[in-house]
Amino acid sequence: MIPPVPQPDPLALPAPAWFLWALLLLMFFLHLIPMNLVLGGSIIGAIARVRGRRPGRPHEARLAHIIVKAMPVLISVTVTLGVATLLFLQVLYGRLFFASAIVMGWWWLSVIGLLILTYYAAYLMAMRESSLGGAATILAWLVAALAGTIALIYSNNMTLMLQPADMVALYAADGSGVQLNLLDRSLLPRHLHMVLGAMAVAGLAIAVLGVVRRNDDEAFSLWAVRYGAFICTAATAVNIFAGLWWLAALPRDVLLQFMGRDMRATGELLAGILLTLTGAGHSVLAVTGKRPGVMVTISVVTLLAGIAMMLLTRDTIRRLSLELAGFQAVNWVAPQWGPIMIFLALLVAAVGTVIWMTHALATARPGRQP
């Protein structure tokens, strides 16, 4: 009989497991922000482009133009930080991650081609937007569809790696690399939870854009704050139900840990919900209050804290699911601090560069509008 969980690798870890785990969560958090802006922003941008073609909607047309110009940079940052995230995931869970990737091999390899298409479409729009005419709308929806498809493929792999027994069964049924984890009850709510979360983050980014641009165009600034706050609040409200659906779809033994058996897991879940709702609430206050800049800042801080707690919850789901499957982590270490220190130094430089680029994009004076 084939054992459902591969045996631990004979190679030692390059650093203590807790340190690699911390770097995994840090890199995933950094990756998640631009990824949400790409996924949620591409959907919002496509909708704004359609609505902006109607008379009397200049602000939506301008928002679509801003998103188009930002998308190539956001995609680049997402991919770069995603590669680093996958490296730490492979170090800690490689024998599961690679096994699930093989089961759905052709789908997993297709991500490269889909990313290239996304790049081409985004760059074409950013460089030739004014000359594309109606084709720009098609390209905008293509970028959104490609981003959503890539996200769905990733969700398939990340859920399948938590079920070693199902991996074995799928591979035994068809080892040609075309299997997907579509029968998993948690797949759809997990993916929906991610898409709605991306919409909320992108909506809040639009509100931030409105605050940053308040000195350039007051009318657009007020509209962007209202529009972004509405998207953030609406997506967050619906996402609460999607998150509860995902929670209910988890294996019973995992679900019970969040229902009070494991106070740490329960606390992470409740903190994530409360912080996220607080962030959405302050985005509403940014519209109705007298100090929108302060309210948006509070919303950003609390929403980012909520995302961090949700990442801990997601990690707890992975840990509990793998414990049920009999997974044992590698516990021998041969530290390689030199390469790790180089990585950390380059990470700080990269984050600083991204912050500078983001500020430059947000504060750039608007050029000729389409």
Task: Please report whether residue 37 resides in a domain.
Answer: yes
Question: Where among 134, 164, 184 does a domain terminate?
Answer: 184
- Please report which confidence band the pLDDT of residue 291 belongs to, taking 50, 70 and 90 as the band edges: confident
Residue 177: domain span: 18-184
Are 179 and 171 within 8 A, CB to CB?
yes
In a domain, 56, yes or no: yes
In this structure, the answer to whether residues 193 and 281 fall within a common structural domain is yes
pLDDT of residue 368: 44
Pair 194, 58 in one domain: no
Does any domain span residue 82? yes
More confident call, 219 vs 44: 44
- Determine, yes or no, domain membership for 2: no
Question: Looking at residue 276, what is its pLDDT?
Answer: 92
Joined together, the tokens standing for residue 81 give 């930080």
Q: What is the pLDDT of residue 23?
A: 94
15-29, 103-117, 125-139, 153-167: segment of lowest average pLDDT: 125-139
Q: Judge whether 255 lies within some domain.
A: yes
Residue 5 belongs to some domain of the structure? no
pTM: 0.89
Residue 370 has pLDDT above 50, yes or no: no
In this structure, the dihedral spanned by the alpha carbons of residues 167, 172, 173 and 177, taken in order and rounded to 10 degrees, is: 70
Indicate if 252 and 301 belong to the same structural domain.
yes
Q: Are residues 360 and 251 in the same domain?
A: yes
Whether residue 48 is found in the same domain as residue 153:
yes
- 162 located within any domain: yes
**How many structural domains are present in the chain?**
2
Mean pLDDT of 286-308: 88
| Shared domain check, 200 and 176 | no
By three-state DSSP, how is residue 333 classified?
strand
- Is there a contact between 103 and 152 (Cβ–Cβ < 8 Å)? no
Check pLDDT > 80 for residue 298.
yes
Same domain, 88 and 119: yes
pLDDT at 364: 67
- Which of 184, 216, 249 terminates a domain? The answer is 184
Buried b (16+ CB within 10 A) or exposed e, 14-43: ebeeebbbebbbbbbbbbbbbbbbbbbbbb
- For residues 81 and 141, membership in a common domain is answered with yes
Quick one: 35 and 79 in the same domain? yes
| Among candidate residues 143, 169, 184, the one where a domain is terminated | 184
Is pLDDT of 8 > 80?
no
Residue 277 belongs to some domain of the structure: yes
Burial class (CB in 10 A: 0-12, 13-18, 19+), 294: middle
Same domain membership, residue 86 and residue 160: yes
Q: pLDDT by residue (tens digit) across 216-272?
A: 778 888 899 999 999 999 999 999 999 999 999 998 999 999 988 889 999 999 999
Shared-domain flag, residues 148 and 213: no
- Say whether both 74 and 195 belong to one domain: no
13 SS3 class: strand
